[in-house]
Amino acid sequence: MSSPARTIAFVNAAHALVHYLMLIYPTAVLAVAAETGLAYDRLIPLATGGLIAYGVLSLPVGWVADRLGPRRLLAAFFIGSGLASAAVATAQGPAGLAAALLALGAACAIYHPVGLSMLAATSRRLGRDLGLNGVCGNLGASGAAALTALAAATLGWRAAFLLPGLAAIACGLVYLATTSDAPAGRADGAAPAEAEPVARPGLALAAAVLAILAGGITYSLVTIALPKIIDERAGADLTLAWTGTLATAVLVCGAAMQLVVGTLIDRVALPTLLVLLAASQMTGLLIAALFTGPLLLLGLALTMAAIYGEVVVDDALVARFVPAALRSKAYGVSYFLGFTTAGVAAPLIGLTHAGGGFGPLLALTAACGTALFLAAIGFRLAVGRRDVAA
């Protein structure tokens, strides 16, 4: 591979790993509960520290990347997340499990500010490469449900953490051995594209912040609770393996949408795409909140397709509207806002589930989806004419 192609390949592999590692616990917790006898409502909040670290530490990573260089930080993600995942596999008791999950979230916080800025700097066709990168992340997330269920059912839940942790460490060692600190450059040798102008920067910033906050909490609530939602509301008594398989099927819908959105990014205005995806997400969340059984699965599939399509659009918005020198910091701020706010997801899931199942939680996500739709419309209005002075 050329240096840019090799960089993009490792960035894509890291994206698959980060989402896989962060979504092992929501499925593994079902096996942990069966083994320990502790209630799901008590075990799921143990992920809170890791989720908060995943968001909070994204902010300083954007600044550190400018000083240490993205290659060193990407290698630190591979090796650090692998070691942390192994620590989860050997953790003892709720306190040990919470501490290891905190370490895992801290290591995984490295990826998005570093990986996405590297991708934007080396990509020749931004939409295509962001779409492929998004698919890799989605396959990691969707694979986590099925493969974790399989590993937990056959080898135990600790193996579900240990095996991908060893794979992450191996990727990090190969990455260090096959790359150098020299910048990869654009795949076509061109200079980075200039940032596009915005007609109303204040409105655009406010709308973007609202979209990030609403989208972040919705993403975390749905993805973390997905296996348990399917387990309780799909309409039948399901084994752990079937629950993981259905959760994976729902998440694969997101991968398909990311391929479509990646193609459309180079052809359709980004704000328009954001509005269409936000409308689809709002519709899917309303269906999931109102129905059970097959219609629930349909609503969840539509929701996940829209959510993962929005992830690609959000990353493209930073690449298109933020100057190249500020992109690492901008990605850090973006994921800080989205994932830090989403840190309330795990305790909120436990609280609402204990108080009456997932009906109230799905109603809350539908409200967040509505807020995201309004924010998308606001951003579309803020961008205005494309020929406005910068």
For residue 389, being part of any structural domain is answered with: no
Angle, CA 258 vertex, CA 51 and CA 253 arms, to 5°: 80
Neighbours of 187 (CB within 10 A): 17
* pLDDT of res. 311: 84
Residue 341 covered by a domain: yes
Angle at 234 between CA 229 and CA 240, to 5 degrees: 70
Residue 85: Cβ-neighbour burial (10 angstroms; 0-12, 13-18, 19+): buried
Q: Which two tokens stand for residue 156?
A: 């135990």
pTM of the model: 0.74
Residue 388's pLDDT is what? Answer: 43
Q: How far is CA 42 from CA 30, 38, 103, 238, 239, in A?
A: 12, 7, 20, 22, 21
Q: Would you tell me the crossing angle of helices 48-56 and 93-108 to the nearest 10 degrees?
A: 20
Give the pLDDT of residue 342: 65
- The upper half-sphere exposure of residue 195, i.e. CA atoms within 13 Å in the direction of its Cβ, equals 17
The answer as to whether 388 is a domain residue is no
Cα(114)–Cα(329) distance, integer angstroms: 9
The confidence score (pLDDT) of residue 193 equals: 55
Amino acid present at 323: P
Per-residue confidence (pLDDT) for residue 25, from 0 to 100 = 92
CA–centroid distance for 265 within its chain: 19
Token reading at 134:
């998004």
Specify the CATH number for the domain of residue 262: 1.20.1250.20
Q: Is 63 helix (H, G, I), strand (E, B) or coil?
A: helix
Residues of the chain with pLDDT under 70: 1-2, 181-194, 235-236, 342-343, 385-390
Q: 390 in a domain, yes or no? A: no
C-alpha–C-alpha distance, residues 151 and 19, integer Å: 17
Taking only the tens place, the pLDDT of each residue in 90-103 is 999 999 999 999 99
Domain boundaries, position 331: 3-383
Give 29-48 as a DSSP string: HHHHHHHH---HHHHGGGGH
SS3 184: coil
Whether residue 198 lies inside any domain: the answer is yes
The predicted pLDDT at position 389 comes to: 44
Residue 372: the pLDDT is 95
* Count of domains forming the chain: 1
Q: What are phi and psi of 180, to 5 degrees?
A: -130, 175
Predicted pLDDT of residue 236: 67
DSSP SS3 for 1:
coil
**Look-up of token digits 């609202």:** 210
